[in-house]
Structure 1
Amino acid sequence: MQNTILVALAIIVALSLAAVWGYRRSDAFFLCLSPVPFSLIGVALAIFASFRNNACYERYWEGRKQWGVLTATTRDLARYVVTVPRLDDALSSATGAHPASDAAHPGSPHPDARHLVMLLTAFVQVLKHQLRGTDPAGALRTLLGEAQAAEIMRLAYRPHSLLMRVQRQMTAWHRDGRIGDILLATGLAHLDTLTQAAGACERIRTTPVPYPYEVLLHRTTYFYCVLLPFGLVESTGWATTVVSVFIAYAFLALHTIGGELEDPFGQDANDLPLDALAIHIERAMREALGDDAWPPVPVPDARHRLD
């Protein structure tokens, strides 16, 4: 954020020095303004900036809540597909082995259950890439293989298509008698929750804060900061530079933070760490499958930020 407003602050420093120099050279310096209007405008500008920042932070916080819903629901579904359907009978009949308890085979879920859990993992990865406008092909190939990745990449609504595949598998289990009506309804309710969470994230992504708010606040903030040194020079003298830069930093930083929080799914420093959130979900999925190879735990950088 500091890099974003560094140039603007440098301009404010230059204007402050010019105001002090001009005021010291001549009492009738033409840009020596009264500080009273700046006090009134500053209060109104602070209220307007706070209103916009609250709106942007609400978008950020709603995005984080929806990803919390995604995390909890995918974990629930992974537990559901690994433990609820009577797939051990199908596995034992295919292999000729005697059905065993879950404790005897804690790391060997049925291939259908494994595939469904990987579809859920792919859903999270594809949704992340869709919200960021990046390419999910690599993640799909890693999780589902070349053939399925190619099929999904040809589609426009990839997260929805992955959930449709999960639902088809659940309804197939229901037709085969692996799950009953109530258990099927429970699984489909979890899919509905994932659909709603993904839709809420897409709504945030595709509905920005109204453009007039951005333009008005941007122009007013910069215009105020540019004229501020000439309104303070008569009352603050040589301290004009320090005071002007301090006030300008507060307003410009508030404006910049709002701009970053407006799209919480981007890749700016203050956006949601979607990579880390997706990795945590994948680790939970692989733990439910009993896999040994997990993605590494995301580590914050020197400024305690995750990607």
Structure 2
Amino acid sequence: MISYNPKDWLAFIFRFHKADTFRKLLPLMAVIAIYSLLVAFLEIEYWKLSENSHVKNITIMHSILSFVISLLLVFRTNTAYDRWWEGRKHWGALVNNSRNLAIKISGMLQEEQDRKFFRVAIPVYASILQKHLNDETTSHQLDEEYTIPINHDHHRPNQVARSLFQKTNELYKQQKITGDQLIVLNAELQSFTDICGACERIKNTPIPFSYSSFIKKFIFFYVMTLPFGYVFSLGYYVIPVVVFIFYVLASLELIAEEIEDPFGDDPNDLPTRKIASNIKKHVGEIL
């Protein structure tokens, strides 16, 4: 995730970050510029269309469709940001629940051997969940004494959650915690799986293909028809104007594509790896 100063206008305007859409769209912008130049040359120099040509009236279509395309892009970006923000809220809940579980364990358990298991096991869930959502294949051993074997053919976070609950249940059978305390701890342990399911819902339910495909086609054909009508009023200046319009419209779609899956490694995705590292640090301090 990119850290930045929102008040530094000069940095935003004159510096291009590697995640900036300008870099990604530069090849397409060059193609659009060549295409606009070709259309302008044909209409001005070859066909020599007059001001009375019906081609000039294509701009009426653009005026009507501009409202439609603005609504589509607003809905697209808002939907993508909602997914990004919901993912952030769930990871924030994971941080709080991990701390709460560690605090309760710290107050309930006195033996260092039992506290040590949770001190190492609680952060493992966040780490495994981060890798699970990012499609990373990894095995995770707690230490020489506590080992959680990870089967990559099965749901990895569930395996860690099962180990946490099994340990909690053993403490109850050994009468190291009471039944009421077991119920309290169970609520925190259950919240881990709830958060995992919510994150999986975000990751595994993309924007419908037909909707995403339609927006891309709409932007493409909208931009492709711009030079035909605006050549009459702009001449060869239509080239930078069309390229800029394409840059704005396509950038909104690219931004939405990037943030709608907030658990990857894109520059604007959630810093889940850092959050998992902070959970490990905080739990270690508590226990």
Shorter-chain TM range is: 0.7 to 0.9
What SS does the corresponding residue of 1:269 show, helix, strand or coil?
Answer: coil
**Map of 1:28 onto structure 2:** 49
The offset of 1:126, in angstroms, is 0.8
Cα offset for 1:252? 0.2
> TM-score under structure 1 normalisation?
0.79
Q: How many residues align?
A: 263
Give the counterpart letter for 2:212 in structure 1. E
The answer (yes or no) to whether the contact 1:124–1:278 under 8 Å persists in 2 is yes
- Cα distance in 1 between the residues matched to 2:113 and 2:54: 77
Runs of 4+ in 1 over 6 A off after TM superposition: none
1:61 is aligned to: 85
1:52 and 1:213 in contact (8 A); partners too: no
Return the alpha-carbon distance in structure 1 between the equivalents of residues 144 and 229 of structure 2: 65
Alignment of 1:69-108 (within 5 A): 69-85=93-109, 87-88=110-111
| 1:45 aligns with one of 69, 72, 83 | 69
| Change in CA separation of 1:84 and 1:155 when aligned onto 2, cut-off 3 Å | farther
SS in 2 for 1:270: coil
The corresponding residue for 1:206 is 204
Cα distance, 1:211 vs structure 2: 0.8
Q: SS at the partner of 2:136?
A: coil
Q: Tell me the distance in 2 between the aligned counterparts of 1:20 and 1:242.
A: 12
Aligned with residue 257 of structure 1, among 248, 255, 258: 255
Provide the residue aligned with 1:295 in structure 2: none
Q: Which runs of 5+ in 1 are unaligned?
A: 89-109, 290-307
The alignment-based identity, stated in percent, is 29
Q: CA deviation at 1:231?
A: 2.6
| Pairing 1:1-307 to 2, within 5 Å after superposition | 1-25=21-45, 26-28=47-49, 32-33=55-56, 34-85=58-109, 87-88=110-111, 110-137=112-139, 140-141=140-141, 143-145=142-144, 148-149=147-148, 151-154=149-152, 156-289=154-287
SS at match of 2:150: helix
Residue 35 of structure 1: SS of its match in structure 2? helix
Q: Could you tell me how far 1:32 is from its partner in structure 2?
A: 4.8
Structure 1 residue 70, shift from structure 2 partner: 0.5
Q: Is the 8 A contact 2:133 2:203 kept in 1?
A: yes
CA contact (8 A) 2:22 2:247 kept: no
How far apart, in 2, do the equivalents of 1:201 and 1:51 lie? 22
Aligned AA for 2:34?
A
User: Is the contact between residue 53 and residue 258 of structure 1 (CA under 8 Å) also seen in structure 2?
Assistant: yes
Query: C-alpha displacement at 1:147, in angstroms?
Result: 7.9
CA gap of 1:111–1:230, structure 2 versus 1, over 3 A, is farther
- The CA deviation string for residues 85-128 of structure 1, in whole angstroms up to 9 with x for no partner, is 2x34xxxxxxxxxxxxxxxxxxxxx1221112311111111111
Amino acid at match of 1:166: L
Contact 1:264 1:272 in 2 (8 A): yes
- Counterpart residue type for residue 281 of structure 1: I
Query: What code does the residue aligned with 1:163 have?
Result: A
Residue 83 of structure 1 and its aligned partner are, at CA, apart by 2.4
Structure of higher RCO (CA pairs closer than 8 Å, 6+ residues apart):
2
Letter in 2 for 1:257: I
Counterpart residue identity of residue 121, structure 2 = L
- TM-score of the pair, normalised by structure 2: 0.85
User: What is the alpha-carbon distance in structure 1 between the residues aligned to residue 166 and residue 125 of structure 2?
Assistant: 15
**1:249 counterpart letter in structure 2:** Y
Question: CA 1:117–1:155 in 2, change beyond 3 Å: closer, same or farther?
Answer: farther
Whether the aligned pair in 2 keeps the contact of 1:32 and 1:231 (CA below 8 Å) is yes
Q: Distance in 2 between matches of 1:145 and 1:217?
A: 53
Asked if structure 2 preserves the Cα contact closer than 8 Å seen for 1:119 and 1:144, the reply is no
The residue identity in structure 2 corresponding to 1:115 is F
